[in-house]
Structure 1
Amino acid sequence: MDFRKRREQLLTEPVGKVLITLAVPVMINNLIQTFYDLTDTYFVGRIGGNEVAAISLVWPILFLMISFGIGMSMAGATLIAQYIGSGNEQQSRRIAGQIISFLLMIAVAIGLIGYSLTPSIVYWMGARDTLFTNASTYLKIMFAGLPAMFMMFAFNAIKQGQGDNISPMIFGAVSVGINVVLDPIFIFALNQGIAGAARATILARALVGLLSVATLFSTRHQLELQLWDLVPDMREIMKICRLGIPSSLGQAMQALGFTILNVFLVGFGEVTLTAFAIGNRVNSLIIMPTMGIGNALSTVVGQNLGADNVTRAREAVKRSVIISTITLVTGAMIMYPFSDRLISIFTQNPEVVFHGGNYLRLIMLSAPLMGFFQILNGTFQGSGHTVFSMILLMGRLWGLRLPMIVALSHTPSFGPNSVWYAMIASNFIICCVGWGIYFTGRWQRKVIKDVQTVVER
């Protein structure tokens, strides 16, 4: 669909219909990505060592390093959405070009730094012997492939800002398909083990990342970027940074918080770390729909605030809450009785099944909270008030979850369950804080007036 027609749809058609239309492709894409994660975990788990624990251990570090790219791409999507909503297509195109060039520069810099620091980081996290070797190998290869990952971030951000979630779904499916085929080849046929899993991922992302960005310069593309749009413009980059730095900081501190969380999990033993890793893979199936709703809501809020339609933006939030809650509760009720069986698909270790099952059951009981968190985050990102989003991300982990884990872990009766209880409690409290911010109404002010005067339609 042409982005002008999509803009008209986002601004005029029934809000519930618009949210579902935008969210379904994201849900499908998330399902595809989740399928990849589960498949990757399955193949890596069949190697027979501690490879799953190694990946789980270093993933927060990788996420920490890419958080700047994630934050900047979110900022780009917000600006593009609000400029399109206001009718300023030329500025939307300019922001799109700057997102691509800026993220590529960031990826190269972060990749080089991360690659050189990998051994020290993994050792600091407490990994030793084979866990250290496997974690270091995986993390180094993933750092080398950051440019490919960041190009996909840029493409997805540009498309999200336009209200096109179908193209990212298609390219995401192709990437996952390539990766699923390459995984067993690299891991087993070429006998590369955990290094093969990382190389398969990077190769798949590189191929699709280059192709997806190349399509943005096609005459068939809705904005039709030109090469000169990629020439760095510090004025435009500063606009992106203004919104992106709070998002990046929130993402970075969240990633660092999960890194510290993994350090606590290592202290409980590799069994608990593996149970957490597998449990999160399965839990992603439950939260997948609400992540799609949050993503769709961000675009709807952004374009409607750009068009000065605050009432419609508020209505979108209300509809999102209803859809998300119904979906999450239904999914949790279906999966709850099969918690242990779901964990046992990926491991035959009875201790991992026991702890992973406990984790899943507790998380499912608090399913609506995960939806509220995604909706609030999507609202604040779409409106461009990324400081509020940063508060949610940082407050949940650093202000609540980690201190709770420290306190509960000193109570012998809790043990590894202290992590699971702290997660639920922190989700509840931060959602209360988020709704408090929401009802102040400060998020309703669009940000593009603060950046540049909007052209008349």
Structure 2
Amino acid sequence: MNNSNTTDLTTGKPITRILSFSMPLVLGTLFQQLYSFVDSIIVGRFVSSDALGSVGATYSLNFLIIGFVQGFCVGLGIPIAQRFGAHDHPNIQRYFYNAIYLCIAISLIFGVGMSFATRWTLTIMQTPPSLIEGAITFIQPQFAFIWVTVLYNFSASVLRSFGDSTHPFYFLVLASFLNIALDLWLIGLWHMGITGAAIATIVAQLVSGLLNLLWLAKKTHMVEFKRQWFSFSPSHTKRLAYIALPMGLEYSVSAIGAVIMQMAINSLGTVAVISQTAGEKIRQMFTLPMESIGMGMATYVGQNYGAQKLRRIHQGIRSGLLTQLCYCLFCLITIGLFANSLSELVIGHQPHLVELSSQYLRIMSTTFILHGSLMIYRNTLQGLGFSMQAIFSGVGELVGRGITSLIAIAMVSYTVVCLINPVAWALALAYCIFMVNRKLTMIEKSF
């Protein structure tokens, strides 16, 4: 059943398999963050620092909705990965087509709902008046075209479930350069401001999604376009929803904490919002590769669980943790040396803003290992198919962000704001370590 465009992760040395599969994911997220980073530079330099703040003010809301979509689509790929590992071709087809029906439903619900609720939501979040109109201009079109996000994330998830992480990377790189070119054209030449940034993001994501889908249809030979597979299957849809909905909700529950965090930042004023936005953009550039390795773990664990190779799952966890530790040390050193330069690259020569942004980066970098370890354990839990239990790791993040945000508001402290994410990561990690060990013990007894 395998071909040159798919990869069986149930054989070979675990650390080699995980790294070779995850590396395109890492590079892909770096390029994805690169064009987000370039967005920030172009908006901050070509438009204004307030425009940069407006884009940053949408982060937690974007995390709430787009994060659900991303988690949901990753979840749709888990049953497909498990059936791929078990060499169960008929059920691969049934899961694929029923996943498409779920994608259509999610696109309609969020596309219509959030197109109307954007202003109300940003107002509830206490977005500063000087930033709210720009924030609406940036995020509302992306909600209206949320089906584009669904298309990209689902097609990439299916390819990865077949062990193909390379081609989604190629198409994402192409989309990244397209996004940058469109930014320069729409913002720099046509002076479309934040609207241009939104259009560039939508178009680039549409192109990468269509390329994923074309490659899936023409080159992998894993999906059959035959009428016999098109029928709706309640049992397959139920299984898909059982895994995908909790994964989406996990992102959203965690994102509710990010919304509370954004409220804490907003309460400190425009200077804090702009500084944290710059720092957060840079932070994401460093931590997204950790999340990509986690995504690789989900596919690795899913395939090996389908093949009933639990020893390889334990080996994979150890290899993943070692990889994250080495990368976190690299991040700590790099940020320690270049935090000011990176912040100034985004904000420009504004010493007070650069100082606050650098403070955020340096505090966060000392706790990156919490985030890296969380990505390994959480995605292991998801790869095993226990997405419902994984929701509670999101609850842990919600509690951590909520409590620390309230402390930051009460103390009017930017330093406490810098600790919100690390506290959330620590609580979620403790839960995931406990749950992974418990579930693996249960599975070992049942095999």
- The residue number in structure 1 matching 2:19 is 20
Cα offset for 1:322?
0.9
Cα offset for 1:167?
1.3
CA contact (8 A) 1:74 1:381 kept: no
Tell me the distance in 1 between the aligned counterparts of 2:93 and 2:34: 33
Cα offset for 1:7?
4.9
Tell me the distance in 2 between the aligned counterparts of 1:71 and 1:331: 25
Question: Which amino acid is 2:14 matched to?
Answer: V
Between 209-218 and 175-184, the greater mean CA deviation after superposition: 209-218
SS of match in other structure, 1:38 = helix
CA contact (8 A) 1:310 1:444 kept: no
Tell me the distance in 2 between the aligned counterparts of 1:389 and 1:289: 21
- The residue number in structure 2 matching 1:74 is 74
Aligned pairs for 1:302-451 (under 5 A) are 302-347=302-347, 348-396=349-397, 398-411=398-411, 415-442=413-440, 445=443
CA contact (8 A) 2:250 2:390 kept: yes
Cα offset for 1:174?
1.5
CA contact (8 A) 1:278 1:343 kept: yes
CA contact (8 A) 1:383 1:443 kept: no
Question: Which amino acid is 2:283 matched to?
Answer: N
Cα offset for 1:6?
4.9
- The residue number in structure 2 matching 1:191 is 191
- The residue number in structure 2 matching 1:110 is 110
Tell me the distance in 2 between the aligned counterparts of 1:212 and 1:129: 40
- The residue number in structure 1 matching 2:89 is 89
TM-score (norm 2): 0.93
Question: Which amino acid is 2:366 matched to?
Answer: L
Between 169-178 and 329-338, the greater mean CA deviation after superposition: 329-338
**Any unmatched runs of 5+ in structure 1?**
450-457
Cα offset for 1:313?
0.7
Tell me the distance in 1 between the aligned counterparts of 2:167 and 2:5: 16
Question: Which amino acid is 2:358 matched to?
Answer: G
Cα offset for 1:4?
8.1
CA contact (8 A) 1:102 1:232 kept: no
CA contact (8 A) 1:380 1:389 kept: yes
Tell me the distance in 1 between the aligned counterparts of 2:79 and 2:2: 19
SS of match in other structure, 1:216 = helix
Change (3 A) 1:64 1:86: same
Tell me the distance in 1 between the aligned counterparts of 2:408 and 2:64: 26
Change (3 A) 1:308 1:109: same
CA contact (8 A) 2:27 2:169 kept: yes
CA contact (8 A) 1:289 1:324 kept: no
Cα offset for 1:211?
3.3
Cα offset for 1:233?
3.5
- The residue number in structure 2 matching 1:153 is 153
SS of match in other structure, 1:358 = helix
Cα offset for 1:21?
0.7
Question: Which amino acid is 2:369 matched to?
Answer: P
- The residue number in structure 2 matching 1:204 is 204
Tell me the distance in 2 between the aligned counterparts of 1:307 and 1:183: 45
- The residue number in structure 2 matching 1:453 is none
CA contact (8 A) 2:5 2:164 kept: no
Tell me the distance in 1 between the aligned counterparts of 2:420 and 2:23: 31
Tell me the distance in 1 between the aligned counterparts of 2:103 and 2:376: 26
Question: Which amino acid is 1:431 matched to?
Answer: L
- The residue number in structure 1 matching 2:140 is 140
CA offsets per residue over residues 152-182 of structure 1, 9 Å max, x none?
Answer: 0111110111111001101111111111110
Tell me the distance in 1 between the aligned counterparts of 2:138 and 2:325: 37
CA contact (8 A) 2:128 2:270 kept: no
Tell me the distance in 1 between the aligned counterparts of 2:147 and 2:323: 36
| Identity percentage of aligned residues | 20
Between 158-167 and 432-441, the greater mean CA deviation after superposition: 432-441
Question: Which amino acid is 2:418 matched to?
Answer: W
Tell me the distance in 1 between the aligned counterparts of 2:306 and 2:240: 16
Between 101-110 and 36-45, the greater mean CA deviation after superposition: 101-110
Cα offset for 1:189?
1.7
CA contact (8 A) 1:41 1:346 kept: yes
Change (3 A) 1:101 1:368: same
Cα offset for 1:3?
4.8
Question: Which amino acid is 1:366 matched to?
Answer: T
Tell me the distance in 2 between the aligned counterparts of 1:29 and 1:139: 23
Cα offset for 1:431?
2.0
Cα offset for 1:237?
1.8
SS of match in other structure, 1:308 = coil
CA contact (8 A) 1:328 1:371 kept: yes
SS of match in other structure, 2:126 = coil
Question: Which amino acid is 2:12 matched to?
Answer: E
SS of match in other structure, 2:308 = coil
Tell me the distance in 2 between the aligned counterparts of 1:109 and 1:158: 22
Change (3 A) 1:205 1:285: closer
Tell me the distance in 2 between the aligned counterparts of 1:192 and 1:227: 45
SS of match in other structure, 1:346 = helix
Cα offset for 1:99?
2.2
Measured on the aligned residues, the alpha-carbon RMSD in Å equals 2.2
CA contact (8 A) 1:305 1:444 kept: no
Tell me the distance in 1 between the aligned counterparts of 2:179 and 2:245: 32
